[in-house]
Amino acid sequence: MTKKKPDTQTNPDTLLAHVGRHPAENHGFVNPPVIHASTVLFPDIETMSTGGQRYTYARRGTPTSDALEEAVTTLEGAAGTRLAPSGLAAIAVALQSCLSAGDHLLVADSVYGPCRNFCNSVLARFGVSVSYYDPTDLDALEAAFRPETRAVFTEAPGSLTFEMQDIPAIAEMAHKRDAIVLNDNTWASPLYFKPIEHGVDLSIQAGTKYIVGHSDVMIGTIAASERAWKALEKTHGDMGMCVGPDDIYLALRGLRTMGVRLERHMKNALQVADWLSRRDDVARVLYPALPGAPGHDIWKRDFDGASGLFAVELAPAPDAAVEAFINALEMFGLGYSWGGFESLLTWPRPKSIRTATSWDAEGALLRLHIGLEDPADLMADLERGFAAFNAARG
């Protein structure tokens, strides 16, 4: 007898343990099979000519890719999902599914840097005009729409500087003009924010981060609403996008523990962020889940949780003092990604890339990803950094 699968109203942790798995169809094995394939055989020429079977060529899907796409579709409350070989590739496919030459795109000025680069290079080369808008100014956004505006790209919170956007208000504004709304939801994942329920048409994740969770796979996901699904499905196929089965398997494996990991990331991050916010050598902490932080009210209204990523602005100091801080750390690795079990730090310079807004903070901005280590050990490590920072700044 086949057991009934949990429905979408089930607790997220239970869903994570069950979505995308069909043991009764796979000889009782708990996990979906990892199918390494290119060629798929047809039983006869009629079936081949008519495409009369589920699988036709591995680039267009296998039971392995189906398992992850089904899982993400359920978690997102989407009409369908497609996979890409990285988060940036997912952004590129999503944007190209809803834009053509002559169209206009609005992008939050706080957006992920490689997304900005894709818009300014590839999209511009193919005749799509791009404007950047203040992510927190709804009036300015409304004024930026043109008759040819076809899409609005959002990110909540913003990359590096963590501005919160009013996604439902932006979606309403865009849909009145028949524009598609895209959202990079990597920070919260669909466990803590469901973009499609808030009016988004294309919900994007760099699954490299929290779905995988172990810093060893590159993968992206695009989940679409009913309105955006057909165009996404066609564009994804036309571009020949696919992901290797071993990477999909590791993403499925990571997905099963994403709930417990995110819960710990948030718990640890809140403790470290609160500790940082009380220090005299910290100007401010940019973490929407922290009471009093910018965007906290929107986060509290729309989100069910937070991840381990936030930024801290240090007190004004020479670059040499910031370098001393970073070089004194022993537990925080220097690395561009995040979402894994380990804590990471980068020193971004948002002022150099903004065009619609300015970033005029006097102190250095450090982006921290709080991993699964004991928070006391992480704070002790940061204390070493602050000792070196304060000694160097005099």
Cβ pair 81, 97 in contact under 8 A: no
**How far is it, in rounded angstroms, from Cα 372 to Cα 35?**
32
For residue 285, report the phi and psi dihedrals to the nearest 5 degrees.
Answer: -115, 130
- Mind listing the pLDDT tens digit for each residue in 261-300? 999 999 999 999 999 999 999 999 999 999 999 999 999 9
Low-confidence ranges of the chain (pLDDT < 70): 1-9
Mean pLDDT of the residues in the chain: 95
Q: What is the pLDDT of residue 3?
A: 43
Query: Per this entry, what is the length of the chain?
Result: 394
| Of 354, 98, 329, residue with least CA distance to 231 | 98
Cβ pair 391, 320 in contact under 8 A: no
**Could you identify the residue written with the tokens 């994403």?**
258
**How far is it, in rounded angstroms, from Cα 110 to Cα 165?**
10
Cβ pair 40, 56 in contact under 8 A: yes
Count other C-beta atoms under 10 Å from residue 226's C-beta. Answer: 11
Q: What is the pLDDT of residue 26?
A: 80
Query: So which residues are the catalytic ones?
Result: 59, 112, 184, 209
Q: What is the pLDDT of residue 13?
A: 82
- Mind listing the pLDDT tens digit for each residue in 76-101? 999 999 999 999 999 999 999 999 99
- Alpha-helical segments (H) within the chain: 12-18, 45-50, 63-76, 87-96, 113-118, 124-125, 138-144, 167-175, 189-192, 226-238, 245-255, 258-277, 296-302, 319-328, 375-393
| Of 196, 193, 217, 198, residue with least CA distance to 83 | 217
| Of 117, 133, 125, residue with least CA distance to 101 | 125
**How far is it, in rounded angstroms, from Cα 323 to Cα 119?**
32
Question: Would you give the distance in Å from CA 62 to the centre of its chain?
Answer: 24
For residue 153, report the phi and psi dihedrals to the nearest 5 degrees.
Answer: -100, 125
| pTM for this predicted structure | 0.94
